[in-house]
Amino acid sequence: MATFDPNEMIERFKERAAAVRRRPLPPVAGEERQLFIKQAETDFRDFAIIGDAVAAVEDGVLVLRVDLNAEK
């Protein structure tokens, strides 16, 4: 079994956040378009939060430290 590397996981989340930013809008209009945009914003935020985390494995537990303070 491969060894789990939390930093590799963090990199995958950074890549996912970037992919959401590049995701083209589908040819939909109206309410469906707004739902797609809202979901893309949520996906980006979630992936970016994990992508900004500092990860560690402590006593077999994955610990993600995320600074939620507003940027200065």
Buried b (16+ CB within 10 A) or exposed e, 5-20: eeeebbeebeebbeeb
- Does 72 score more than 60 pLDDT? no
Alpha-carbon distance 37 to 51, whole Å? 21
Q: What confidence tens digit (pLDDT) does each residue in 32-46 have?
A: 999 999 999 999 999
Q: What is the DSSP string of 17-64?
A: HHHHHHPPPPS--HHHHHHHHHHHHHHHHHHHHHHT-EEEEETTEEEE
Residue 70 confidence (pLDDT) above 90: no
Q: What is the mean pLDDT of residues 8-28?
A: 92
pLDDT-derived band at 71, boundaries 50, 70, 90 = low
